[in-house]
Chain A
Amino acid sequence: MVVSYALLVAWALVVLFPLYWLATTSLKTPLDVNGGPFYIPFRDFQPTLESWRYIFVDLADDTFRPYLNTVVVGLTSTAITLLLGSMAAYGLVRMKYRVHIGAIASFVLALAGAVAVVAAGGPWQLALLGGFAFFLLLLQTVGRRFKRALGNDDIAFWMISQRMLPPVAVVIPIYIFFQQLALLDTWAALIIAYVASHLPIVVWLMRDYFQSVPLELEESAAIDGASRYRIFRSIVLPLAVPGLVATFLFVLVFAWNEYLIALFLTSANAQTLPLTVAAQNATRGPQWWYMSVLILIMIGPVIAMAIALERFIARGLLVGAVKG
């Protein structure tokens, strides 16, 4: 008991001290920051709200607009990701998929055809349509010739492998992608990009939580005539709430804090807060005091959400469900 508390408090200090340092830095003047380490307000240095005033009054719209963007993009993309990702994860856990080698070969062939059209100078819209038609044609002919197929685990691995390429490598193609769709500097671009890039994480995490939902419950619901969608909505999702909450927090945090994609896809209108933080590293060197204020107001809402949602990650939700 004592040992537990000692360990908990020790790690809490490791976590909290850097945050304490952020908080005090946000109350310091540049002179105090550069003058050496001052630890305790009022004793070591005179706290001032100057940096907070600068961020909220002087910058005003340049703080609030990114803030709104971050909130809208973060919540929307997280909600969509969670919905699509849980559905896919449930499918992968409770249903059996077989993607035939022939189908994949057809897809690759059609893709190669489309690429060839674009490389030869054809418009991409035409290549896309032609490629799709070609794919359907091949699927009906070549697609059925091979018996071998990929299963659920292969689909899951394919999904997670989409996160393996570092963002640096894909930002330019993604930029061109949204430029062609005329979506640069909009919420939609960021939301689509975040949904696509965070889906694999949701699928992988939710798979494990769905696996732990007792099968007996689903079976009895099916016998009572519930459709699969209904089983998913009324039985599986409520029982996987702890996992949903944990996953929601992650994806929200990822979308909230994403930097590189936002840097490329947005300029004035849809800029998000991480860019504002990084922008405080001006030509005069990092403006620690402004940066600290921004980081603090950025984590505020996420912390509030973590406090509100924490109780859902509680023991005993599943207990008793299968009894009797």
Chain B
Amino acid sequence: MSGEASARQVPVAASRRSPLVARLDRSAGAVFILPAVLVILAFSIFPLLASLYVSMTRLSFSEGGIHLTYVGFGNYAKLLVGIDRTHFLGVTVPLTPLTAVVLLVIYGGFAFLLVRYLRGPGRTVAGFVGRLVTAVIAGALVWLVVDTVMTSGRPGTIVVTLIYVGVDVSAQYLLALGLALLVVQRLPGRRFFRVVFLLPMMITPVGVAYLFRMLTDTSKGPLYPLWAHFGLTDVSWVTNPWGARLAVMIGDVWQWTPFIFIVLLASIESLPIELNEAAVVDGANRWQMFWAITFPQILPATSTVVLIRLIEAFKIVDLPNVLTNGGPGTATESLTLHAYTIWRALDIGGSAAVAYMLLIVVTFVGISYVNLFRRRVTAMA
């Protein structure tokens, strides 16, 4: 890593200082960033390489301990075309008229965006190739989701994870934004609400998972009267795939809405108040003030917190593990839980392969998000 720092915006007045201090000041760029870079680098490279290697091996027990046999891409092949295909990708069925229409509409949208980009002013070859690749991979993922969820097929762990991420992060964002806007008002008692709204995030994830297992118990949980009313006390709700997924998602939304809430709150609170005052003088209503003033200014913070939540949401594991144990069948199993279960069954290589597939999917989503959305937002701000 060689970071050559140069002052971009703040001029440095070095003339009045001793040579040593001046020199230290010139290398400030490196001093600021190198500690963090070195810590992350030292701590990330070895695990990354080691688990890549492990994902290409099979663990076996032999005399005198364990042995790793190199199997190349065998573990990956098992997931994509082999016996674990239904577990990982799901059971796909031939297209029905409904799914065909849905897919056509979505692919049409992709094509429209690509054409619009080609006609736009800022087009470059690299930009087009990047968008084309993005569209192809996103198209494949969309097909997988549509074909396993909207048909008689069965979604695999990758599809379940995508559903969790999509639903959870959007629900959390909308809730958090609403709550943040409510508590920035000068209402009496707002400090109480601010602290209360943070509480779910502070409980250890394992604890939240057990807490929701208590709450969703149909015979001795607090919602017993509700279940009794519908005559559901004997049927465990975990027998219904969508019911179980819904329970997992409610738990996740409950726990992580505070994360987005506090970032948006801090961001709104640190906005200069003059713009709002001027808008009030001009007779703008609240709705206009939000869209014209507040929302554009919190967009950078928004795009950051959503990216962090996206990455973290892909790693959801405690809730499905404790709440439903991934069941019924594998209906609520996320990719991390998938990796965890086969890891417990001592298929270390297979587990690392699942984790690497997850890494590939998250990297794809992350890069697309940064390039297509975040860059535009930060350029605007």
Contacts and interface: CB of A to CB of B under 8 A. Distances in A.
Given A21-B214, A96-B5, A315 B184 contact: yes
Contacts, number: 335
A193 B43 contact: yes
Contacts of A253: 201-202
Given A15-B200, A196-B40, A229-B28, A166 B259 contact: no
Interface residues of A, number: 125
Task: List 10 A-B pairs, minimum CB-CB distance, nearest first.
Answer: A169-B355, A91-B32, A196-B43, A88-B36, A257-B204, A173-B50, A173-B47, A170-B47, A228-B28, A91-B33
A34 B220 contact: yes
Interface in B339-355: 339-340, 343, 348, 351-352, 355
Contacts of A187: none
27 contacts: A8-B183, A12-B193, A34-B220, A95-B28, A143-B2, A165-B48, A166-B314, A167-B315, A169-B51, A177-B47, A193-B43, A199-B40, A203-B36, A219-B11, A229-B24, A246-B263, A249-B262, A256-B204, A257-B207, A259-B206, A274-B204, A295-B204, A295-B207, A295-B211, A303-B202, A313-B265, A315-B269
A212 B267 CA distance: 9
Nearest to A20: B222
Interface of A: 1, 4-5, 7-8, 11-12, 14-19, 21-22, 25, 33-37, 39, 84-85, 87-88, 90-92, 94-100, 103, 107, 111, 115, 139, 143, 153, 155, 157, 159-170, 172-174, 176-177, 192-193, 195-197, 199-201, 203-205, 207-209, 211-212, 215, 218-219, 222-225, 227-229, 231-232, 242-243, 245-246, 249-250, 253, 256-257, 259, 273-274, 277-278, 281, 286, 288, 291, 294-295, 298-299, 302-303, 306-307, 310-311, 313-319
Interface stretch (B122-130, B136-144, B236-244, B358-366): B358-366
Contacts of A215: 9-10
A303 to B, nearest CB: 7
B220 A37 contact: yes
A318 B182 contact: no
A243 to B, nearest CB: 6
Contacts of A174: 47
Contact of A298 (B199, B207, B271): B207
Contacts of B25: 227-229
Contact of A107 (B1, B6, B16, B340): B1
A208 B301 CA distance: 6
A215 B265 CA distance: 23
What DSSP secondary structure best describes chain B's contact surface? helix
A97 B3 contact: yes
A313 B266 contact: yes
B215 interface: yes
A229 B49 CA distance: 36
Contacts of B16: 225
B370 interface: yes
B290 to A, nearest CB: 14
Given A208-B304, A274-B204, A246 B195 contact: no
Contacts of B274: 319
Interface in B69-89: none
A242 B270 contact: yes
B204 A259 contact: yes
B9 A94 contact: yes
B159 interface: no
A143 B24 CA distance: 24
Given A115-B49, A168-B343, A315 B273 contact: yes
Contact of B206 (A8, A153, A278): A278
B4 interface: yes
A306 B302 CA distance: 22
Interface string B308-335: 1001101101100000000000000001
B44 interface: yes
Nearest to A162: B44
